Amino acid sequence: MISFDVDEKLAQQLERVRTLGREFLRPLGIEADRKGEAIPADHPFFETAWRLGIGRLGPEEDEEERPRSGERTAARRGVVLGEELAYWDRGAAVALPGPGLGAPPIRRMGTPEQRERFFAPFRDPSRPRWGAFAMTEPGAGSDVAAIRTLARKEGDAWVLDGAKTFISNAIRAEWIVVWATVDPSAGRAGHRAFVVEKGTPGLEDMRAEHKMGLVAYESASFTLRHCRVPAENLLGGERYYESRAGFKGAMESFNATRPMVAAMAVGIARAAYDAAREFAREHFLLSRPLPRHRRVAEKLARMARKIEAARLLCWRAASLADAERPNQVEASMAKAFAPAIAQEAAGLAVEVMAEAGVRQDHYVEKLYRDVKAMDIVEGTGQIQRIVVARRLLGYPASG
pLDDT by residue (tens digit) across 339-389?
Answer: 999 999 999 999 999 888 787 777 899 999 999 999 988 788 888 898 899
Helix axes 363-370, 245-283, angle to 10 degrees: 160
Write down the pLDDT at residue 118. 96
Instruction: Write out residues in the chain with pLDDT < 50, as ranges.
Output: 63-64, 399
Q: How many angstroms separate the CA atoms of 112 and 102, rounded?
A: 16
Which residue from 112, 105, 170 is spatially nearest to 144, judged by alpha carbons?
A: 105
209 among known catalytic residues: no
Write down the pLDDT at residue 246. 56
Which residue from 163, 180, 175 is spatially nearest to 199, judged by alpha carbons?
A: 175
Q: How many angstroms separate the CA atoms of 331 and 397, rounded?
A: 13
pTM, 2 dp: 0.86
Write down the pLDDT at residue 185. 85
Write down the pLDDT at residue 1. 58
Residue from 83, 137, 330, 378 carrying the catalytic annotation: 378
Write down the pLDDT at residue 63. 45
Within the chain, strands assigned E span: 130-134, 150-154, 157-168, 173-181, 191-197, 203-208, 219-230
